[in-house]
Amino acid sequence: MLEVKKVAYSYQEGQTILKDLTLEFKEGHVYGLLGANGSGKSTLFLSLMGLLKPQKGMIAYQGKPLSYKKKDLYIYRQEVSLVFQNPDQQIFYSIVKDDVAFALRNLGYEEAEITHRVDKVLLELGISHLKEKPVQYLSYGQKKRVAIAGALALESKWLLLDEPTAGLDPEGRRLMMSVINRLAKQGKNIIISSHDMDLVYDCCDYFYLLADGKLLTQGTKETAFIDRELLLQANLEQPWLVKIHQQFNLPLFENEQSFFSQQNKKE
Ligand SMILES: Nc1ncnc2c1ncn2[C@@H]1O[C@H](COP(=O)(O)OP(=O)(O)OP(=O)(O)O)[C@@H](O)[C@H]1O
């Protein structure tokens, strides 16, 4: 389990960004972390990775407070990996296959194992054809998938995805959603930060909604999005499946796919 216990974080004195935040992430779930721009999602992710150290409270992993010693963080980050919002923050090598292999090489894996893992994740993400390509010539969406490939190659238990669909076109967004759903089925523990309500509703099974560095509300698909006014105050909208559920008295569908297959049955 990953825990955020009464965490407060400020980049500079007098301006607290995370305010006494307490959240629990248990294994076997896909969590959605929702909040408007500036609500503190990325700051929370950086804190979860041990890249920022809370001034108050603590991050705990498997019941123990996170140790900020270099050696301990090195081990921790093999279990918990983050894919940054902007792929350029994550991509270091010029050729795709080398970039994806970067962390594994750093960790001293055998070349045969590295090749096996790199090929596997590139295939999973549908980007095997980019293997030998220079990263600089890739589109934004392709770069995003390369950044995810690097994190997946580590086979960490936890995957933190910061705004996985930001900047993607509809096709890129669909691909990303199917990748996330596939990873979830494979049992990866995932936390997705986003303000894309529909993506998060579709892919996640538990939700934390943040507003101004504080927890606004939390819950499941059935409970987290009920209060439209509360969400609007936090500059968030209800997912469209929740809107049609409330406004047209339709059942609450789990995801787009189940809604459309139900409609097709009717026709
Ligand atoms: N390095 C920094 N120094 C000072 N303030 C920062 C820094 N990074 C972020 N902030 C501030 O912290 C607040 C929260 O930012 P953060 O990036 O965590 O929000 P977010 O929810 O991820 O936003 P977005 O949806 O736009 O990515 C914002 O007011 C931002 O200006």
- The ipTM (two decimal places) reads 0.97
In the chain, the N- to C-terminal Cα span, in Å, equals 45
**Whose CA is closest to atom 9 on ligand 1?**
43
> What pLDDT does residue 218 have?
96
- Rounded to the nearest integer, the mean pLDDT of the chain is 90
Helix/strand/coil for 243: helix
Provide the number of structural domains found in the chain.
Answer: 1
For the Cβ of 41 lying below 6 angstroms from any atom of ligand 1, the answer is: yes
* C-alpha triplet 25, 218, 147: angle, nearest 5°: 50
> What pLDDT does residue 266 have?
67
Question: Which residues, 6+ apart, have CB-to-CB distance to 253 below 8 Å?
Answer: 241, 245, 259, 262
- Residue 223's domain comprises 2-236
| Ligand 1 centre distance from Cα of residue 44 (Å) | 10
The residues with which 211 forms a beta bridge, in sequence order, are 214
pLDDT tens track for 205-257: 999 999 999 999 999 999 999 999 999 988 999 998 889 888 888 888 888 88
**Whose CA is closest to atom 6 on ligand 1?**
11
For the Cβ of 172 lying below 6 angstroms from any atom of ligand 1, the answer is: no
CATH number for position 229: 3.40.50.300
- Binned at pLDDT 50, 70 and 90, residue 140 comes out as confident
Highest mean pLDDT among 45-49, 134-138, 254-258: 45-49
- Residue 190 forms part of a structural domain: yes
Residue to mutate (ligand 1; options 9, 13, 39, 216; most atoms within 8 A of CB): 39
Phi, psi of 55 (to 5 degrees): -75, -25
- Residue 254 forms part of a structural domain: no
**Whose CA is closest to atom 17 on ligand 1?**
42
DSSP 54: -
- Residue 89 forms part of a structural domain: yes
Taking residues 154-174, what's their average pLDDT?
88
- Residue 263 forms part of a structural domain: no
For the Cβ of 16 lying below 6 angstroms from any atom of ligand 1, the answer is: no
> What pLDDT does residue 254 have?
85
Question: Which residues, 6+ apart, have CB-to-CB distance to 72 below 8 Å?
Answer: 66
- Residue 245 forms part of a structural domain: no
Contacts 24+ apart (CB under 8 A), 89-92: 90/147, 90/150, 91/135, 91/143, 91/146, 91/147, 91/150
- Residue 264 forms part of a structural domain: no
Higher pLDDT, 252 or 121: 121
Q: Model pTM?
A: 0.91
The residues with which 80 forms a beta bridge, in sequence order, are 158
| Ligand 1 centre distance from Cα of residue 256 (Å) | 31
> What pLDDT does residue 196 have?
87
For the Cβ of 137 lying below 6 angstroms from any atom of ligand 1, the answer is: no
Residue to mutate (ligand 1; options 33, 42, 82; most atoms within 8 A of CB): 42
Helix/strand/coil for 205: coil
- Residue 260 forms part of a structural domain: no
